[in-house]
Structure 1
């Protein structure tokens, strides 16, 4: 990794205090999500969706179901990061651009679809696990995209998921995995907290 990329990783910390007067443009939001969707997904399913909650009215609606956390409304935008249940039937559509780009031969697609069917079909827990994994990969990439853009971020799991799903019209196949506030951090935020030493978390085999 380059010095700049390691610096972005090393300096990231959760932002709990946002400058409520600062905004980000819709173009900036689009750029962040474009980077977030470069994250990996199983079988190239890309089974994610992001709702950019950015208007005062929408942020107030979300805050009602987010434990009344101020950062939901203070941040420039709070994303609802959604994982979609893994569905093997979406494979041909999701792989079509890969085939058109000359990356994958068309004859490989049925094999991938069949493998995904074996893995997920009639297995609701597997489908949901994949939704959560996918949303988490996307959210993690979004966090570092925000950091690279000079923005702070705060992932949140403290919210009423069924209520958020109803309020924002999520589909039956969609799981609101986390909320992610993004905006301009104030100076009062804590610095990055120390992490556990490597000898407690790393094992060589």
Structure 2
């Protein structure tokens, strides 16, 4: 099956393609309009190296959110355009469960985080691979009551250093461990997540859009 994953979650744009020649990734580190300009060449290079063409794509993946407003919009736009041109299935992948799934061997609980700026984080808590909270947009101090002091917590995602350095963390006695997710890993992680959880993921509806947790972002849509 020819699978293409478009990761626009971080400033590093990454494409992963899985085809007859195996898994191939292409990436570009940059900001602003360069993402849109580089996207199509990266897709063409990745799918060609993986053994198929963009028109032969069967499944295309992109981050559902939460995440950067601009990044999520770009990922959805690219995935929908590819869906129309290739008759592929477009499957949005929830970002925080996908981040947490990379550490399913961890015996403790997991906090998947994305730095949402303004001293806030998009965050969701998981135990034994299952979400135990909704997706929050909160400060570290507001999140601490959700963390049990009787457990060890792995905090992973994008922006863990800022989470770790928050005054509330420094003053707490909760056992935290921090692992920053690799910027180039998320596209591949979306493919693995789809392979493991494809039974619960759904094709995007024609009117579907990214998951915006912050109200100000949703109002821009």
TM class, shorter-chain normalised? under 0.3
Bigger proportion of residues as strand? 2
| TM-score, scaled relative to structure 1 | 0.25
Higher relative contact order, structure no. (Cα contacts within 8 Å, ≥ 6 residues apart): 1
| TM-score, scaled relative to structure 2 | 0.24
